[in-house]
Structures are given as structure tokens and as C-alpha cells.
Amino acid sequence: PVGTSLTDDGALVLGGADVREIAQVHGTPCFVLDELTFRRRARMFVGAFEQAFGAIGSGVDVYYAGKSFLSVAVARWAREEGLRVDTCTGGELAVALRADVPGAEIGLHGNNKSDDEIARAIEARVGRIVLDSPAEIERVARLAAIAGRDETDPVPVMVRVTTGIHAGGHEFISTAHEDQKFGVPLAGGAALATLEAVLAHPALELLGAHSHIGSQIQDAAAFEAAARAMLGLRADLARSSGVLVPELDLGGGYGIAYTPEDVPIDVDGVARALAATVRDACAELGTSVPRISIEPGRSIVGPAGVTLYSVGVVKAVTVGGASDDETAVRTYVSVDGGMSDNIRPALYGARYLGRLANRPGDDASLRARVVGKHCESGDIVLPDVELPTDVTPGDLIAVPATGAYGRSMASNYNHVLRPPVIGVKDGELRVLVRRETEDDLLALDLG
């Protein structure tokens, strides 16, 4: 996905830039983000969904899910490609606003929004606040009133609904089954009652219902099942209240390829299948087709990012072989980052590919485990990878598909400094987010 090639002497080139130059100028570890890949993938979502839903007479809004990775530059790229920005905290909202994304093109999520976050979203006139529980209705209505909003100028809201449809990778990232913290269950009428309760508040404008069924989803049928369930809910609300809400949000969660075993979602195919489902379900239910929004994050920024690490200590460890009388060696290749820049292997058992990036290496291959520099044995970047046998300190290792949930979930564990994000485009480098410094960390420590 990232525009990659090799130099004549076998070094990796990302977005036109030689990784050796990126590492020399900006140091390692660093995240490299290919602007054109990000833009192309953002456009792909807008194009596929606009075409598919335009064909059934419906409009579409694509929100870029900022939790996957948000910076001022990235928010601008998203906007320039016709996307809106989905935020889930005051911090993400602040970045979107700093990027001059108009409030009307921002959404705010969160299962435990603070009064301050809600008030700032209202003040910024965000396009919608997604209510996550019945308890939020009164709070948002009260804060809307304080801000002087009433039925002549209501605050647009949606209600997040859990459909009971399980999808996605690890349990921690599948979000629509019943026993978890997000949203209001469709089962038992809770979602319908919550939607009705919103209608009773004149200072709130009910745009519709919202469903996000999980992340890293590789089975497109789950989206269709969720869409059907949500359209049924919309029709139920129309019957019970006389109000046919204009919109439906079908969330994010489109899976990407980290390794050859993964099946990335075919965005065009899903868009067409979803549009057909929406058209057919609305025809059966006797309702008009709603405006649809989606919230992809990982599938836009994930493939646009590559992490570069430098190799430090290389250590061969005898680990035992397939049978008792056989011994096998695993080579531990330590790099200068690890679980502080990519927690996903430790948290979800996530797998990535990786390769020597600064030169071709010899032809023989080594059974290697790439590990980080943290004081924890679970600090593993690549549990099982083939590297050339001559891998040596100072070499560069590139790990692709790390644009999503890498930098955005980075930590300072062991007082490690969070890496920079370097934008690449046509061979030009641009620091999007600078490397943290020890002064940054010490500035927080008041002694």
C-alpha cells in the first residue's frame, strides 16, 4: 500500500524517500506516514460509498476515525479529501479544531464524556454528538440549554446502539456484543426507548442511530446484518413516534492486511453490498432510504504507515527443537522501540510482517524474534520472522501497516520517548509530530 521500491543497492524507499535518509535525519524509532497513500485510501472510501449509495438515491458522509491516528496535518488531509472527522475525546476534538475542520464536519463519541467535553462540542457546533447511554440525554440537553440552544437551534445528536452482532478481531476490539460498555442494546427495547426519550427534548435534534460492530472486521456480511437491524429499529421508531429519522451511522471497523493470512475488506464490494441491503430492507419496511455515514480509521491510515527501528543487541538463544534430542536456536533481535510505540502484539496478539530495510542482507535466513527495549519479556514486535543471517547492530528494520493504533496508543513506559511521525511525499520529508524529549517528560514532573 505505501508507495515502496528499492534503491539500486537494495534499501527500502517509502513515498520516494530512502529509509536510510529518514533514519539519519530524524532518528529511530520513527513512524513514516505516506501522505499519498493516506489520501488515496481516504478518497477510495468516499468514492466507493458515494457511488454505491448515490445509485440508491442516498447521500453519504465518511468520517475519519481520529482514534486510529490524528494530527493536525492528517485532519487537514482528511478534510481535503472530502472526509469529516470523528473524535472521541476533548483532546481529539482540540486537534480537529486546530486543523480548522469546521465544527459541522466533526462528530463526538465517548461512553463517558465529561461536561467540559460536551460543552466544548456544543460550543464548536459539532455536526453531531453520539449519545452512548440514556443518562447522557439529560446532560447534553442541560448543557445545550446553558449554551442558549433551544428548539429553534437544537444540538444534533445520534444514539449509539448495540445490535448484538459480533464481529472483528480480538475480544477487546469487538464492540457490539451485549456484555460490554458501549451503547444501548437493541434487544429488549432499550434502544427504541432511548431514541423516543431524545425526541422529547426540544433542544436536541435526533439525527438517527449509530452502530459500530467492531474493528479489523474481515467478514463483510456482519456490516449488512447490522444495517438490517438498524433499519428495523428506525422503522420501529417511525411507527411508535411518527418520526422517521434521517440518518444512520454504520461505524468503522474495515479490516486491513497485516500479514498474508488477513483478508482485507474490499471497500467497493462492501459499499455495493451495503447499499443493496439498505435499498432492499427499506423497500421491505416501507421507509425511505436514510442518509448513511461510516467511520473508517484503521483502513485509511493503517496501510499508510511504516515503523522504522534500528537494530541493537543480537542474541542467539537455544530454545529446544521439535524433538527432545534436537536443539534449535532463536535469535533475539532487539530494536530501539517496542511496546511503547506498538502495544498491539502484547495487547491483542497482533501479528505484523517486518524486513531488513537498509540493505538486502545475505541470502540465508535466520529464525528471529524482534523485541523491544522495555523491561518486560512480552515486549515483542515480531514474534517469528525470517531475517538475513547477517543482521547486525545499526541495521534498520521496517514494520509495515503500523499507521493505525501505533502512535495513537503509544506510551512513555520506562520513560521512553514517543517517536515522531514523519510525513513522506514525493521524496520530501516533513515532521508531522516531533519526537518527544526528556525535557517534555521532565516538564510534567514537579519534583
The annotation status of 15 as a binding-site residue, yes or no, is: no
The annotation status of 110 as a binding-site residue, yes or no, is: no
DSSP assignment of 356-412: E-SS---SSEEEEEEE-SSSSTT-EEEEEEEEETT--TT-EEEEES-SSSSGGG---
Q: Name the phi and psi angles at 252, rounded to 5.
A: -110, -150
Task: Please enumerate in sequence order all residues whose Cβ is within 8 A of that of 246, keeping only pairs 6 or more positions apart, or say none.
Answer: 207, 208, 290, 291
- When binding is defined by CB under 6 A, the residue of 38, 77, 223, 254 that contacts ligand LLP is 254
Cell numbers placing 292: 448513511
Which one of the spans 61-69, 186-194, 198-206, 416-424 is the region binding ligand LLP (CB under 6 A)?
A: 61-69
Residue 173 binds ligand LLP (CB under 6 A): yes
* Helix H or strand E segment including 72: helix 72-80
Exactly one of 30, 88, 282, 375 is catalytic; which is it? 375
Q: What residue type is assigned to position 425 of the chain? A: K
The annotation status of 164 as a binding-site residue, yes or no, is: no
Helices vs. strands in the chain: H and E counts, helices first: 12, 21
- When binding is defined by CB under 6 A, the residue of 84, 149, 298, 425 that contacts ligand LLP is 298
- When binding is defined by CB under 6 A, the residue of 28, 37, 58, 68 that contacts ligand LLP is 68
Residue 66 binds ligand LLP (CB under 6 A): no
The annotation status of 295 as a binding-site residue, yes or no, is: yes
Query: What single-letter DSSP state applies at residue 317?
Result: E
Q: Which is nearer to ligand LLP, 221 or 442 (CB)?
A: 221
Site string for ligand LLP, 380-419 (x = CB under 6 A): ------------------------xx---x----------
Q: Which of residues 179-218 bind ligand LLP (CB under 6 A)?
A: 212, 215-216
The Cα–Cα gap between 294 and 45 comes to 9
375 in catalytic set: yes
Which one of the spans 235-243, 295-303, 363-371, 424-432 is the region binding ligand LLP (CB under 6 A)?
A: 295-303
Q: Which of 117, 158, 110 is nearest to 137 (CA)?
A: 158
Q: What angle, rounded to 10 degrees, do the helices at 90-98 and 72-80 form?
A: 70
Q: List residues binding ligand LLP (CB under 6 A).
A: 65, 67-68, 86, 109, 173, 175, 212, 215-216, 251-254, 295-299, 344, 348, 404-405, 409
Q: Which residues are annotated as a binding site for pyridoxal 5'-phosphate?
A: 253, 295-298, 405
Q: Which sequence positions are flagged as catalytic?
A: 375
Annotated binding site for substrate: 298, 344, 348, 376, 405
